[in-house]
Structure 1
């Protein structure tokens, strides 16, 4: 039934900072739009919605994979640092495969990205957690 991931949407309060984060992970901006109106409000169950909607595409990914950034103008949203607690129900983290985890971590650190854990080996991979936009957790994995 399901073939592959298509996209992940992240609601953000700081659009430029979030865009920059995913550019560091080799995503490029492809579409900038503003969503609003009755049809979208009904679909998302968000009355009076108005939001910037940026589509960022992972370079070279086959099949295509997108991160969509949703920046609400209305209603106003707030950031919750408690979302970074991985011992809670719901969304836990998103993981990206990398070729060299040490180089990736070095690149992200040099660009001000918070590394949440040490690199560890588990299930034939090197793994590390990093802090993404709005305190979400992003994991990097290098297959051994």
Structure 2
């Protein structure tokens, strides 16, 4: 069911400083930056490996203990169909932290659950963009 390693999320105190650090120090580039009601997020990638990202998270309005889970917050995996993946992993005994997938910043869907050492894990269904035919 897992297609690839998705991203690693890191809790940061200062988003601009964190972006500058990862960009200047290691050559990461910003793919997406945005804000929800409760947190600011930025996705960084390396040109040589654009399919694995770092997600920087700065809580604006801390929810539960999300930012208290550690500096490295969660490990995420891409799935093709999140509903099918949830059904598959429920049969294997996984209990998800919410009954339904939640929207992602870019319009996909995600859901969180705990791994064997209580680490936070995430399934992500990415948005598939279809190019429009300009002649249609």
TM-score normalised by length of structure 1: 0.40
Structure with the largest fraction of helix: 1
| TM-score, normalised via structure 2 length | 0.42
